[in-house]
A and B are shown apart, each in its own frame.
Chain A
């Protein structure tokens, strides 16, 4: 058989392995297994497998049907609970006690979890029917139906991805995907400390997103400023570090520079030491009474009693975080750039030198274009990482200085603002909106560029 015919046979097999095919040409037992999971497996001799499917179905139905089970939470989802906590006088004991009311947050969480469980069940249900249908076909063809042990053995061989992917994916589903869905749904509610909606809240549709474009609302007033600063910050943090880091790497790499390893090791200190240590130290040093002001005073650069407002003036704070970030970021650039610089053909420099180009001209016309060409994907990743650069801002300025009445400080990025809104201010709905907006911006930047990058397109090229 030619490879084309083989592919045709495989495609035909693929076609029979669907729910529609099972519905069309399956025997009554297969059809019954649409309702009673695992029936077809058991009838074909795969008793354990069939029982497992059946147990899953029973478990699912029980979970959905019990009083505080899935159906209960799903039915609460549209209203998110109405019963308020009420105070009643307990005559026997002689004091006031509280009758617990509904808690919208809990309802939403359980409902989302139930939705995930339902989705999971549908996947298992489909798999069970296909598995039963396949077992019936094998039996009808008179071949040996794989036993439970065969199935287990297949998990170590051709089905190894099922074995290896299940634990990581299960953890992702429970602790990343479910919480993300939950947080995204919050963007459509009024779950916030503002207006006392911490216990009971309701769906408000797209109101929170509309507020973004309403400059008189608290979020609309601050959002665009924070967004602009986030982009400005990411731009400087990425490109300044890239330029200066490249220059630094070239200086260290000069043929006549001594102790290259020493300089690189000293630079890598900022990467090696945990950021909450190094940045907290810098924050302390730059405070109004901090070491830097003390040093400048004793050197006579600024007068005694005069303090440079590194963290207390908006412009100073912005410049300081960018400058400190250079301190943090240059070592990363030096590390990643050193190898690439060596790949620039030496003849190009030679030719430029003969034409009389000086060092600066060589850097601008040869080094930079080459580096841009090679480093574009890295730069994009760095840019998106900088938009999400929580540590540097939070540890250095904590987003401050903050004007009265604002929730966002003058150096807050979208992520640090998001953190403040959830942890300190408990305005979960606004935080969720900001999280979604951050995601959209990042998705736009990276999808456009990442999908066009060679590493994505040629992902399979190597094999």
Chain B
């Protein structure tokens, strides 16, 4: 009797397992379909290269969309945009990482009079919609003359890194877990606060620093709001996101360029996704490891 019951329980469990796995496969398909569709259409050949195709999957395949992205640069200069974005991303990631580290160290390890005021101020600033000040920033940069000619990349670097002073929460949270005893030991050995910051705190934050570097490196690749406002019609300074966005956003391009948009999107999405998986590794390492006192 008992054997029979356990048998039926076992059978029921197997059925649940099968149902669950079928469900997960369905979910996986739903989650992947847009990306599969994107990749498939980046290889679509034929005469019609617009956004609507007669069938779900393309009927003709070609590498043409990728090659023309790099050779046919008269209207949309993809390699140029890629370099623009890379340059801006490198600069802004350097500046914002420095800002985040500096602010986090000060609010986490140093006692100063305005500390609480600064924390409250940062919180209030973060409550405003991020781009509410966007137009004002544009006017400001224009007044200083940064929205003309070769200074546009600099203006974008400023846009992406100026707000870093309020984006310290994750880093501060991490620094808070480092025992203050380590700092005190360094002071006793005669280290200044600067030396403690560079030689004690920073090395302990390494996984978090890597996370911060990659996150701020990725921001310019994803942003299409500031870039659009700052660059306006000066296409030679476009970043990839704004370039690709303009391809699909304007009616004149989308009918002929959609497949090239797909190809460009794949070329941007692949490195960004890989970087993202990296950040997750470091983030989890940081969260799991911490510093044992």
Q: Which residues of A contact B (CB under 8 A)?
A: 105-106, 109-110, 153, 156-158, 160-161, 163-165, 167-169, 171-172, 174-180, 182-183, 248, 251-252, 254, 256-258, 263, 266-278, 280-282, 284-285, 287, 289-291, 294-295, 298, 327, 384, 388, 390, 414-415, 418-419, 422-423, 428, 431-432, 435, 438-439, 442-443, 446, 450, 462-463
Give the contacts of B13-51 with A (CB-CB under 8 A).
13, 17, 20-21, 23-24, 27-28, 30-32, 34-35, 37-38, 51
B21 cross-chain contacts in A, Cβ below 8 A? 257-258
B194 cross-chain contacts in A, Cβ below 8 A? 156-157, 160, 163
A276 with B244: in contact, given A174-B140, A267-B31 (CB under 8 Å)? yes
A160 with B110: in contact, given A171-B99, A251-B24 (CB under 8 Å)? yes
Once the chains bind, are A285 and B163 in contact (CB under 8 Å)?
no
B244 cross-chain contacts in A, Cβ below 8 A? 276-277
Q: Is B197 an interface residue (CB 8 A)?
A: yes
A281 cross-chain contacts in B, Cβ below 8 A? 34-35, 37-38, 262, 265
Looking at the assembled complex, report how far the CB atom of A341 sits from the nearest CB atom of chain B, in whole angstroms.
16
Besides A171-B161, A176-B165, A423-B135, 12 new A-B residue pairs in contact (Cβ under 8 A), listed by A number: A109-B139, A165-B102, A167-B102, A178-B136, A256-B17, A268-B280, A269-B31, A272-B273, A272-B276, A280-B265, A282-B34, A285-B37
Once the chains bind, are A171 and B165 in contact (CB under 8 Å)?
yes
A419 cross-chain contacts in B, Cβ below 8 A? 131, 225
Instruction: Pick 30 A–B contacts, CB within 8 A, sort by A.
Output: A110-B143, A156-B194, A157-B194, A160-B197, A165-B118, A167-B98, A171-B161, A171-B162, A172-B162, A175-B162, A176-B125, A183-B133, A183-B136, A248-B27, A263-B27, A269-B31, A270-B31, A271-B276, A280-B248, A281-B34, A281-B38, A281-B265, A294-B55, A294-B56, A295-B56, A327-B30, A419-B131, A423-B229, A428-B135, A463-B180
Q: Is B171 an interface residue (CB 8 A)?
A: no
Looking at the assembled complex, report how far the CB atom of A327 sits from the nearest CB atom of chain B, in whole angstroms.
7
**B269: nearest residue on chain A (CB-CB)?**
A273
Looking at the assembled complex, report how far the CB atom of A223 sits from the nearest CB atom of chain B, in whole angstroms.
15
**A413: nearest residue on chain B (CB-CB)?**
B129
Once the chains bind, are B20 and A254 in contact (CB under 8 Å)?
yes
**B245: nearest residue on chain A (CB-CB)?**
A276
B110 cross-chain contacts in A, Cβ below 8 A? 160-161
A110 cross-chain contacts in B, Cβ below 8 A? 143
Looking at the assembled complex, report how far the CB atom of B282 sits from the nearest CB atom of chain A, in whole angstroms.
14
A172 cross-chain contacts in B, Cβ below 8 A? 125, 162-163, 165-166
Once the chains bind, are A276 and B222 in contact (CB under 8 Å)?
yes
Once the chains bind, are B24 and A252 in contact (CB under 8 Å)?
yes
Q: Is B105 an interface residue (CB 8 A)?
A: yes
Once the chains bind, are B222 and A275 in contact (CB under 8 Å)?
yes
A267 to B26, CA, bound (A): 12
A282 to B51, CA, bound (A): 12
A277 cross-chain contacts in B, Cβ below 8 A? 38, 244, 265, 268-269
B217 cross-chain contacts in A, Cβ below 8 A? none
Q: Is B200 an interface residue (CB 8 A)?
A: no
Once the chains bind, are A276 and B241 in contact (CB under 8 Å)?
yes
Once the chains bind, are B269 and A274 in contact (CB under 8 Å)?
yes
Once the chains bind, are A179 and B20 in contact (CB under 8 Å)?
no
Once the chains bind, are B132 and A418 in contact (CB under 8 Å)?
yes
Looking at the assembled complex, report how far the CB atom of A228 sits from the nearest CB atom of chain B, in whole angstroms.
18
Q: Is B63 an interface residue (CB 8 A)?
A: no
Q: Is B5 an interface residue (CB 8 A)?
A: no
A109 cross-chain contacts in B, Cβ below 8 A? 136, 139-140, 143
A269 with B224: in contact, given A180-B136, A463-B180 (CB under 8 Å)? no
Once the chains bind, are B106 and A257 in contact (CB under 8 Å)?
no
A289 to B222, CA, bound (A): 27
B173-216: contact bitstring with A at CB < 8 Å (1 yes, 0 no)?
00011001000000000001111010000000000000000000
A425 to B139, CA, bound (A): 17
Once the chains bind, are A422 and B192 in contact (CB under 8 Å)?
no
B139 cross-chain contacts in A, Cβ below 8 A? 105-106, 109, 182
A179 cross-chain contacts in B, Cβ below 8 A? 133-134, 136-137, 140
A442 with B280: in contact, given A251-B23, A257-B24, A423-B229 (CB under 8 Å)? no
Q: Is B74 an interface residue (CB 8 A)?
A: no
Once the chains bind, are B123 and A180 in contact (CB under 8 Å)?
no
Looking at the assembled complex, report how far the CB atom of A29 sits from the nearest CB atom of chain B, in whole angstroms.
26
B176 cross-chain contacts in A, Cβ below 8 A? 462-463
Once the chains bind, are B35 and A269 in contact (CB under 8 Å)?
yes
B241 cross-chain contacts in A, Cβ below 8 A? 274, 276
B162 cross-chain contacts in A, Cβ below 8 A? 171-172, 174-176
A390 to B128, CA, bound (A): 13
Q: Is B76 an interface residue (CB 8 A)?
A: no
B150-161: contact bitstring with A at CB < 8 Å (1 yes, 0 no)?
000000001101
Q: Is B238 an interface residue (CB 8 A)?
A: no
A176 cross-chain contacts in B, Cβ below 8 A? 125, 133, 162-163, 165-166
A180 with B128: in contact, given A105-B139, A160-B110, A274-B241 (CB under 8 Å)? yes
B131 cross-chain contacts in A, Cβ below 8 A? 390, 415, 418-419
A180 to B122, CA, bound (A): 13
Looking at the assembled complex, report how far the CB atom of A302 sits from the nearest CB atom of chain B, in whole angstroms.
15
A268 cross-chain contacts in B, Cβ below 8 A? 276-277, 280
A177 to B276, CA, bound (A): 31
B135 cross-chain contacts in A, Cβ below 8 A? 183, 422-423, 428, 431
Looking at the assembled complex, report how far the CB atom of A267 sits from the nearest CB atom of chain B, in whole angstroms.
6
Once the chains bind, are A175 and B163 in contact (CB under 8 Å)?
yes
Q: Residue among B103, B193, B272, B276 with the most chain A CB within 10 A?
A: B193
Give the contacts of B65-111 with A (CB-CB under 8 A).
98-99, 102-103, 105-106, 110
Looking at the assembled complex, report how far the CB atom of B241 sits from the nearest CB atom of chain A, in whole angstroms.
6
Once the chains bind, are A167 and B99 in contact (CB under 8 Å)?
yes
- Partner among B51, B52, B193 whose Cβ is within 8 Å of the Cβ of A156: B193
Interface pairs A-B: 5 shortest CB-CB = A179-B136, A179-B133, A168-B165, A175-B162, A272-B273
A175 with B273: in contact, given A252-B24, A277-B244 (CB under 8 Å)? no
Q: Residue among A106, A176, A257 with the most chain B CB within 10 A?
A: A176
Looking at the assembled complex, report how far the CB atom of A309 sits from the nearest CB atom of chain B, in whole angstroms.
16
A442 with B127: in contact, given A273-B272, A274-B269, A435-B132 (CB under 8 Å)? yes
Q: Is B130 an interface residue (CB 8 A)?
A: yes
Looking at the assembled complex, report how far the CB atom of A77 sits from the nearest CB atom of chain B, in whole angstroms.
16
**A324: nearest residue on chain B (CB-CB)?**
B34
- Partner among A169, A274, A295, A439 whose Cβ is within 8 Å of the Cβ of B165: A169
Once the chains bind, are B268 and A274 in contact (CB under 8 Å)?
yes
Looking at the assembled complex, report how far the CB atom of A254 sits from the nearest CB atom of chain B, in whole angstroms.
7
B253-289: contact bitstring with A at CB < 8 Å (1 yes, 0 no)?
0000010001001001100110011001000000000
Once the chains bind, are B192 and A157 in contact (CB under 8 Å)?
yes
